[in-house]
Amino acid sequence: MAMVWYEIKKILLRPSCQIALLLLLALSSYICYQEVYGDEGVEWLTESGEWLKGPAAAREMRSAQEEWSGPLDQAMMEKALEVLKRYEEEEKDHPEDIDYRFQRIQPLMDIRDMLNLAGKDYYEWEADDFFIAETLTPETLPNVREQRIKQLENYLYDESSLAYSRFSQNEKEYLLSCYEKMDETIQMGYAQGWSHAFDAGYYVIFYGSIIMAFLVSGLFANESRRKTDAVYFSTEHGRKKGSAAKLTAGFLLTTAVYWALMLTLNGLILSMLGFEGGDLSILAEPMDNWRCIFNLTFRQRSLLALLDGYIIWMLFSGVAMLVSASTRSESLAATVPALLILIPNALNSYGITQGSSFWMNFFPDKMVRAYVGNSPYVLVEIFGKVMPMLYVQRFLYTVLIVVLTLVCWQIYRRKQVR
Amino acid sequence: MLFMELKITNLSKDFRKTKAVNQVSYTFHSGVYGLLGINGAGKTTLMRMLTTLLNPTSGEITWDGEDVFKMDKAYRKLLGYLPQDFGVYPDFSVQDYLRYIAALKNLTPTEAKEKVQEVLLLTGMTQFKGKKMRTLSGGMKRRAGIAQAVLNDPKILVLDEPTAGLDPSERIRFRNLISELAADRIVLLSTHIVSDVESVAGQIILMKEGRFVATGTTEELIAACPDKGWLCNVPKDEVYAYHQKYRVANVKTLSDHAQLRILSQDAPMPGAVPEETSLEDVFLSYFGERSGGEDGNGMV
Ligand SMILES: Nc1ncnc2c1ncn2[C@@H]1O[C@H](COP(=O)(O)OP(=O)(O)O)[C@@H](O)[C@H]1O
Ligand SMILES: [Mg+2]
């Protein structure tokens, strides 16, 4: 144990690592700020025309949404429709107040989004369709569940759609079965705390993994760079237990930093924006999650994303340590994991790989993104069974972490000092 | 059965075309061994094999009859090693560093605490124990290096050029330290400076181009050396000619002639006065060049 502690100390005492940790902290704080007060944060327009942000906005939104919480059944939809139409009418009497209508429909914005989305085929959406809800009547109110399924069917089986050839028959059936698992009626309610905590977590997992890899990248490589390896390998434990201690230190530090950071981040955002809504289906925020194939509550999604993020961080630390042990180069060890996530991410976001290339789907950026709102469906078929790539990655990455660790240990304990 | 025998048999290490260590056999028992040779002789390579850092190309190393690579950590338990290129963890304090190495050497934290105090005292580093290693001078680093080497009371203490870069007073200090450490263990000390080993080493090994070219006590080496030292007075304009023909250990220019100290089997000229041969002469005779001086400006 003493060995593990000193290995961690080697990292923590290094100025460059201290800077990296500060950077991680600054980055997380910035993301946290953005998700609460900033551009991504919660906003609320008061009756007096004042824009509230952050916890104050969350407080207003929460109490205003109470009236619109509960199952989105016919009665609730009719009530929403009535209110929406009323404000559409009233708006005409208040031409001086451009925010008149918006201010008043804020509490039922999610329901309105739902009506908009279910009211017309999602894939035929255009800018002015933002007002579909108000065109509906009690008789034409959609069945949300059926509408979602129908839209997906149209998308998958329309010969002119990209999806038509992209997905196999099995995959199409799988996607539809995911939508069919959706509850008959969705529970609506306030869950801003959870959704913002999740969004913030996504960024921290993504960029933090790169910083974490940097932190552990010197563990092995620095021994030869600083020529401390000669003494190290000549000691009783230098080869077996010493190398194990290094790996333990790397993973322990990763674990500690990850959970401390992520739990603090989630705790902070939840306590600022509210813990309620964890039991609601993520579809209660339809704008973000309408296409999502995962039937999860906000709390489940947050927990799973936390675990997935942990796997990614551990994998990156593992890769960094393996490169560190086998190439003796700290910079290479820090760069390889960063490239593993940044390159595929860049390729995908510039549309170079169309997001559909089979091998590109194995990269970790896909895993980080798996639960993010309306990201593309990433599926694989294994022995005739279709599943989200996410499940395969969870399994593969976990196995990979174990394998990397063993390989790294084997490489380092046999290292010769020339 | 413990007779403390470190034995190397036909040990070789090739790097591509270089035979860094070439078919060396030797047996070490308790005592101080001075491994003497110029830069590139293969001393470091030999020591790296003895400390299991490097696998031999051929040959074997045994401790009390057992292959040291098979003994693995049971062998490394006996080792203390000060490498030639001794690196440190810049952000560790001396005390941190020693406790860390103590942990690697399987000392419990309590043992480590005690032992670290002890080696700090031994090396005169006690008042510097809180200093960050990046701020240590070369000499202090070396002392910290010796401190770590002896943490586990090693039966085999391997010191690779421990005096390189030390000033004369530190060298003397160091020699005294070696004598203190010599009891009941094998101390193998490499250097290219004759004076480092001639007083402390019981056995001296002359290493050249990967081979042990001569071994024995100082007296034995001198006795076995074919060359003798001769003092000759020669005219100044003939000095160059003598340099061409003989190994000249020393030149002293006097007012009307030069006094040369020449190494040769027979008297190089009539009237040459035989002198007592020194270990330095033996070195010169084998290597054709003088060993590094006290001031450390020799080859490193
Ligand atoms: N890692 C290495 N790769 C290639 N050649 C080496 C290596 N280490 C040492 N050598 C060569 O082996 C010979 C002996 O080197 P070394 O053991 O360092 O000698 P010494 O310690 O006596 O100066 C030299 O010719 C050196 O160039
Ligand atoms: Mg050397």
Q: Are residues A184 and A269 in the same domain?
A: no
- Express the helix, strand and coil content of chain B in percent, nearest 5 each: 35, 30, 35
Amino acid, single-letter form, for residue A172: K
User: Residue B104's closest chain A neighbor by CA?
Assistant: A237
Segment B235-260 shows an average pLDDT of 85
User: Which DSSP helix (H) or strand (E) runs through A407?
Assistant: helix A389-413
User: Residue A225's closest chain B neighbor by CA?
Assistant: B87
Query: DSSP characters for A273-301?
Result: H-STTTTSBGGGSHHHHTT-----BHHHH
Segment A290-318 shows an average pLDDT of 95
A59 falls within a domain: no
A60 falls within a domain: no
Binding site membership of B37 for ligand 1 (Cβ less than 6 Å): yes
Give distance in angstroms: CA of B266 to centre of ligand 2: 35
CB A104 within 8 A of CB A46: no
Looking at A188, A223, A243, the residue that finishes a domain is A188
Q: Are residues A382 and A270 in the same domain?
A: yes
Looking at A154, A188, A222, the residue that finishes a domain is A188
Q: pLDDT tens digits, residue range A19-66?
A: 999 999 999 999 999 999 998 899 999 988 899 999 999 999 999 999
Give distance in angstroms: CA of B132 to centre of ligand 2: 27
Q: Are residues A377 and A287 in the same domain?
A: yes
Number of domains in chain A: 2
Looking at A165, A188, A211, the residue that finishes a domain is A188
Q: How much is the pLDDT for B226?
A: 84
Of residues B45, B50, B59, the one with CA closest to residue B28: B50
Segment B91-118 shows an average pLDDT of 96
A50 falls within a domain: no
Can you say whether the dihedral through the CA atoms of A212, A213, A219, A221 is positive or negative?
negative
Write down the mean pLDDT value for chain A: 90
- For A139-169, b/e burial (b = at least 16 CB within 10 A) is eebbebbebbbebbeebbeeeeeebeebbee
- The least confident of A130-134, B32-36, B119-123, B264-268 is A130-134
Binding site membership of B135 for ligand 1 (Cβ less than 6 Å): no
A169 falls within a domain: yes
Q: How many residues does chain A have?
A: 418
Ligand nearest, relative to CA of residue B45: 1
Q: Is the pLDDT confidence value at A164 over 70?
A: yes
Q: How much is the pLDDT for B185?
A: 93
Kindly state whether B269 is in contact with chain A, defined as any CB-CB distance less than 8 angstroms. no
Query: Hey, how many other C-beta atoms are within 10 angstroms of the C-beta on A27?
Result: 16
Confidence of residue A232 (pLDDT cuts 50, 70, 90): very high
A43 falls within a domain: no
Distance of alpha carbon B81 from alpha carbon B158, whole angstroms = 5
Chain centroid, CA A380 distance in Å: 20
Kindly state whether B171 is in contact with chain A, defined as any CB-CB distance less than 8 angstroms. no
Binding site membership of B299 for ligand 1 (Cβ less than 6 Å): no
Q: pLDDT tens digits, residue range A338-362?
A: 888 888 888 877 666 554 577 778 8
A406 falls within a domain: yes
Give distance in angstroms: CA of B209 to centre of ligand 1: 10
Q: Are residues A277 and A364 in the same domain?
A: yes
For chain B, the maximum distance between any two Cα atoms, rounded to a whole number of angstroms, is 71
Binding site membership of B44 for ligand 1 (Cβ less than 6 Å): yes
Q: pLDDT tens digits, residue range A69-86?
A: 999 999 999 999 999 999
Distance of alpha carbon B35 from alpha carbon B288, whole angstroms = 17
Confidence of residue A3 (pLDDT cuts 50, 70, 90): very high
Distance of alpha carbon B214 from alpha carbon B222, whole angstroms = 10
Q: Are residues A17 and A139 in the same domain?
A: no
Distance of alpha carbon A32 from alpha carbon A269, whole angstroms = 7
Nearest CA to ligand 1 atom 25: B40
Q: Are residues A180 and A194 in the same domain?
A: no
Q: Are residues A179 and A238 in the same domain?
A: no
Query: Hey, how many other C-beta atoms are within 10 angstroms of the C-beta on A338?
Result: 18
Distance of alpha carbon A173 from alpha carbon B6, whole angstroms = 73
Confidence of residue B76 (pLDDT cuts 50, 70, 90): very high
Q: How much is the pLDDT for B272?
A: 86
CB B230 within 8 A of CB B236: no
Query: DSSP characters for A188-236?
Result: E---HHHHHHHHHHHHHHHHHHHHHHHHHTHHHHHHHHTT-HHHHHHSS
CB-based contacts of B5-8 (< 8 A; 24+ apart in sequence): B5/B29, B5/B62, B5/B63, B5/B64, B5/B65, B6/B50, B6/B61, B6/B62, B6/B63, B6/B156, B6/B186, B7/B61, B7/B62, B7/B63, B7/B65, B8/B50, B8/B59, B8/B60, B8/B61, B8/B62
Q: Which atom of ligand 1 is nearest to the CA of B16?
A: 4
Dihedrals phi, psi of B299, to nearest 5 degrees: -80, 140
Chain centroid, CA A338 distance in Å: 18
Q: Which residues of A touch B53 (CB under 8 A)?
A: 230, 233-234, 416-417
Q: How much is the pLDDT for A46?
A: 93
Q: Are residues A313 and A181 in the same domain?
A: no
Of residues B93, B52, B89, the one with CA closest to residue A218: B89
A62 falls within a domain: no
Chain centroid, CA B264 distance in Å: 27
Segment A204-219 shows an average pLDDT of 95
> Residues near B49 by Cβ (< 8 Å), separated by ≥ 6?
B11, B13, B21, B55, B56, B61
Binding site membership of B217 for ligand 1 (Cβ less than 6 Å): no
Q: Are residues A377 and A295 in the same domain?
A: yes
Query: DSSP characters for A135-180?
Result: H--TTT---HHHHHHHHHHHHHH-TTSHHHHHS-HHHHHHHHHHHH
Q: Are residues A200 and A324 in the same domain?
A: yes
Q: Which residues of B touch A9 (CB under 8 A)?
A: 92, 96
Query: Residue B202, class by beta-carbon neighbours within 10 Å (0-12 exposed, 13-18 middle, 19+ buried)?
Result: middle
| CB contact (8 A) between residue B86 and residue A232 | no
Confidence of residue B196 (pLDDT cuts 50, 70, 90): confident
- Percent of chain A exceeding pLDDT 70 equals 96
Q: pLDDT tens digits, residue range B279-300?
A: 888 888 888 876 665 443 333 3
* Token pair belonging to B163: 């005096």
Q: How much is the pLDDT for A297?
A: 95
User: Which DSSP helix (H) or strand (E) runs through B24?
Assistant: strand B18-28
Q: pLDDT tens digits, residue range B198-222?
A: 888 889 999 999 999 999 999 999 9
CB B160 within 8 A of CB B182: no
Q: Are residues A355 and A269 in the same domain?
A: yes
Domain of A31, in residue numbers: 2-38+190-413
For residue A264, CA distances in Å to A197, A259, B136 come to 10, 8, 40
* Token pair belonging to A260: 């401390």
A63 falls within a domain: no
Amino acid, single-letter form, for residue A380: V
- The least confident of A119-128, A202-211, A322-331, B50-59 is A119-128
Q: Are residues A368 and A389 in the same domain?
A: yes
Q: pLDDT tens digits, residue range A363-386?
A: 888 888 888 877 788 888 888 899
CB A256 within 8 A of CB A275: no
Q: How much is the pLDDT for A385?
A: 92
